[in-house]
Amino acid sequence: MAVGIIGYGAHLPRRRIKVEEIAKVWGADAPSYKKGLELREKSVPALDEDTITLSVEATRNALARAGIDAKDIGAVYVGSESHPYAVKPSGVTVAEAIGATPDCHCADFEFACKAGSEGMFVAYGLVKAGLIKYGLGIGADTSQGAPGDALEYSAAAGAAAFIMGADDDRMIATIDDSYSFMTDTPDFWRREHQFYPSHGGRFTGEPAYFRTVTGAIKGMLEKSSMKPGDFKYVIFHQPNGKFPKRAGKQLGFNFEQIDVGRLVPTLGNTYSGASPLGLTAVLDVAEPGDRVLMCSYGSGAGSDAFVLTVKDRVREVRDLAPKTRWMLDENVTYLEYGEYAKLRRKIRLAAH
Task: Give catalytic residue positions.
Answer: 81, 113, 237
Q: Is 46 among the residues that bind other proteins (CB under 8 A)?
A: yes
Of the residues 29, 230, 330, 336, which one makes contact with other proteins according to CB under 8 A:
330
Of the residues 26, 189, 255, 326, which one makes contact with other proteins according to CB under 8 A:
326
State the minimum distance, in angstroms, from the CB of residue 200 to other proteins: 30
Task: For the segment 250-309, give every residue that binds other proteins (CB under 8 A).
Answer: none
CA distance 215 to 203: 17
From residue 143 to residue 182, the character string flagging contacts with other proteins as x (rule: CB under 8 A) and all else as - is: ----------------------------------------
Other CB atoms closer than 10 Å to residue 227's CB: what's the count?
10
Query: What is the chain's alpha carbon radius of gyration, rounded to the nearest angstrom?
Result: 19
Other CB atoms closer than 10 Å to residue 33's CB: what's the count?
21
Nearer to other proteins (CB atom), residue 300 or residue 322 = 322
Q: What angle do CA 6, 212, 32 make, to 5 degrees?
A: 100
DSSP 8-state assignment for residue 84: S
Task: For the segment 69-128, give every residue that binds other proteins (CB under 8 A).
Answer: 84-85, 93, 96-97, 99
Of the residues 47, 102, 129, 191, which one makes contact with other proteins according to CB under 8 A:
47
Nearer to other proteins (CB atom), residue 81 or residue 304 = 81
Nearer to other proteins (CB atom), residue 1 or residue 347 = 347
Q: Is 324 among the residues that bind other proteins (CB under 8 A)?
A: no
Other CB atoms closer than 10 Å to residue 29's CB: what's the count?
10
CA distance 266 to 136: 27
State the minimum distance, in angstroms, from the CB of residue 337 to other proteins: 17
State the minimum distance, in angstroms, from the CB of residue 118 to other proteins: 23
State the minimum distance, in angstroms, from the CB of residue 170 to other proteins: 22
Closest CA to 133 of 6, 222, 302: 6
Closest CA to 79 of 52, 118, 126: 118
CA distance 170 to 180: 27
DSSP 8-state assignment for residue 77: E
CA distance 161 to 117: 10
- Sites of contact with other proteins (CB under 8 A): 14, 46-50, 52-53, 56-57, 60, 84-85, 93, 96-97, 99, 322, 326, 330-331, 333, 342, 349, 352
